[in-house]
A and B are shown apart, each in its own frame.
Chain A
Amino acid sequence: MSGEGTRLIMGPFNRVEGDLEVRLDTSLDTVVSAEVSSPLYRGFERMLVGKPVHDALVYAPRICGICSVSQSVAAARALARLSPAAVPEAGGYAVNLVHAVENLADHFTHFYLFFMPDFAREVYAREAWYAPIAARFRAIKGSAAREALQARASWMEIMGLLAGKWPHTLSIQPGGSTRAISRPEKVQVLTLIRRFRQYLETTLFGDKLEAVGELASTEALHAWSEGRSSDFAQFLQVARALELDRLGRTRNAHMSFGAYEQGAGHLFAQGVWVAGAVQPLETASIAEDVSHAWYAQMAGAHGPLRDAPVPDVQNEDAYSWCKAPRLGGQVVEVGALSRLLVDGHPLALDMARKGGHVTARIAARMLELALVVPAMEGWISAIDPDAPFIDHSALAPVGEGAGLTEAARGSLGHWLCADAGRLDHYQIIAPTTWNFSPRDRRGVPGPLEQALEGTPIRPGEEEPVAVQHVVRSFDPCMVCTVH
């Protein structure tokens, strides 16, 4: 029961990837403050120390079964700092394709399996929109689950072709992709992309991807959704009815490491979006604070290329295994919305004018589906099947460097040092480490903790449904978060 000054602990908070607990201090009808706790620690950063450098490509993807390729890409890029290898153009496209298949599958899985089933909860049974939404999106039993699983599985057939299997491929290497793509395979892949496009255009959007990608304002988005019965349009109608644009508000800076390399740049640009202006990314100002996490306290933060926190359950201020990464000491938010803000997509800019919110985060993922699938058709078509896909230059036994990429959920970085052909330092900062960070030494809460403040609680609610929407709107990946 919610009452004045109640402490509420929600866990296991499921339909997220991995383990999550959310602790709330509530008043009668509102969340006053929140603490986000990651309760599982596995120790990949320490496990990797002492391993042959190239073996990072076996261990790193296994940090996460849902962002496995992103972990491969970050590890391969960090290892590439030990080598003069330059990824050949065709190899770059092949890696982009494999990475995009994973990222888009994650957006798709999040929407159908993780996020939407909350609208089938009994608490909404009296809403006018309830019956068709519950029939469509109810967990496991709704009509969408089966259809979405089938569309997703057929989409993942691209992984069978280009990466051997998913998750946990070894096809992504510092010098490119192990899997050259032949002329007939180009057509096979293009056909699989078109099959997914067909599902998206028929069922998810009910419109051409290009038409969705061109929606330029909140007003245009809502006009587009009216009278449309596609899955995304139905979400937008519910979002309006429930005013999800008022939920999960944040006023943070947004960061992107840049997604899908194309020539010298990216399909989605690198940078930091602060109050409407884009600034260059200064990775040297990234550092992790462990004041509220179960690690031995350090004299100061020097960044992930130098710091290697040691687990310590004795820290009495701690409530999470998640460290608190900060950019120049500031909280930043990452994810699809952040990528589109940094890249200047007009719909993202309009939706987030007054800050991030639940509707904007969901819409940004859907927008990425609409924008990236056409880009993939371009990449596969641009591949010269007679060109090299990989550069085999050897890795130097000594060196250091960072590997940066964008996972589905946002910015992912690996920082490593090598000596005598072995790793002697390895640090990982994952997207949800940024988004679900605990407080830092100044007591500043992380993005989700901020987003939860002020979340309404319905009369008699024991585990507020609005909290569920806010938490899942970030699409957290907890196994990446702590690793």
Chain B
Amino acid sequence: MSEVEIVVRLDVMLARRKMRSRELAERIGITEANLSLLKSGKVKGIRFETLAAICAVLDCQPGDLLEAIPRES
């Protein structure tokens, strides 16, 4: 297993942009349930298409949404 894990900071960006999850989900074309899974990090991965759509709507970079942190042993 990798020593680093990817943490999703989408909730932080949503708070900064004062946007609700439902609105973001509607604008990028995924279900609110899937967006919730993404926020909690309970997904296997994110498609570039989805990542690009989120960055466009939230006016941010992928690095604002994803952070690599050392995995707790």
Q: Do A and B come from one complex?
A: no
Chain A residues close to B by CB (< 8 Å): none
